[in-house]
């Protein structure tokens, strides 16, 4: 009996390792083959799930939001769309998709303002630790869409060089207006994203 208890005491801690949650490795700014397969699998299984992308969405003040388009997220979306349309991804598509924004972290911002041209002069920057990173790509929506509440919604795309970003740490996207005043801020925890 004693021998059985000793054996059980040694086995239980090891068995618990398989049940413990695995900590997030952080946003992979490049994907290996296993990461690609996992992203495609997640995308294919997400077709019936409308909240599949909450991992990559960050809320700002009011209704402002930003989606972080990591390479993993990019493939999840592509696989989801392919599965939804009944056509699997072609073998060359993942490489093609990932090359489009290689070395760049893309942020899709939904910003609200008072006129249809409010976002034209917006200037984003990304704070990572004590460094301020300038974008390599900025596309502000020139004519925002009027919403039911009378405000306007602009969808903006910002790209930042990955060489300056740690995929496991926090970053802050700050968007300033044409006069240099900060108008929107997003606390992004890349450590919780894939």
Q: Where are the domains of the chain?
A: 25-192
Judge whether residue 11 has pLDDT over 90: no
The pTM assigned to this predicted structure is 0.82
Distance CA 62, CA 64 (A): 6
pLDDT in tens, 130-166: 999 999 999 999 999 999 999 999 999 999 999 989 8
* Confidence (pLDDT) at 174: 98
Judge whether residue 29 has pLDDT over 50: yes
* Confidence (pLDDT) at 133: 98
Q: 32 phi and psi, to 5 degrees?
A: -85, 180
Distance CA 187, CA 136 (A): 20
CB neighbours of residue 188 within 10 Å: 23
pLDDT level of residue 25 (50, 70, 90 thresholds): low
Calculate the alpha carbon distances from 193 to 69, 149, 155 in Å: 10, 32, 22
Judge whether residue 71 has pLDDT over 90: yes
Structure tokens at 160: 């930042």
Judge whether residue 89 has pLDDT over 70: yes
Total residues belonging to the chain: 194
* Confidence (pLDDT) at 18: 33
* Confidence (pLDDT) at 166: 87
Calculate the alpha carbon distances from 106 to 93, 111, 182 in Å: 18, 16, 20
pLDDT in tens, 106-129: 999 999 999 999 999 999 999 999
By CB atoms closer than 10 A (0-12, 13-18, 19+), residue 168 is middle
Q: Is-contact 187 174, C-beta < 8 A?
A: no
């Amino acid at each position: 009996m004693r021998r059985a208890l000793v054996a059980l005491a040694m086995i239980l801690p090891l068995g618990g390792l398989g049940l413990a949650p695995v900590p997030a490795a952080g946003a992979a700014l490049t994907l290996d083959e296993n990461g690609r397969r996992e992203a495609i699998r997640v995308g294919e299984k997400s077709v019936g799930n409308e909240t599949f992308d909450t991992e990559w969405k960050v809320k700002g003040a009011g209704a402002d939001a930003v989606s972080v388009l990591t390479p993993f997220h990019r493939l999840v979306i592509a696989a989801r769309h392919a599965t939804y349309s009944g056509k699997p991804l072609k073998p060359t598509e993942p490489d093609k998709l990932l090359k489009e924004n290689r070395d760049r972290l893309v942020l899709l911002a939904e910003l609200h303002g008072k006129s249809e041209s409010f976002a034209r002069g917006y200037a984003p920057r990304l704070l990572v630790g004590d460094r301020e990173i300038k974008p390599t790509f900025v596309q502000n929506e020139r004519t925002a869409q009027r919403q039911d509440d009378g405000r306007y919604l602009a969808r903006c795309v910002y790209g930042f060089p990955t060489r300056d970003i740690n995929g496991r740490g926090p970053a802050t996207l700050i968007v300033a207006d044409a006069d240099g005043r900060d108008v929107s801020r997003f606390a992004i925890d890349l450590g919780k994203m894939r």
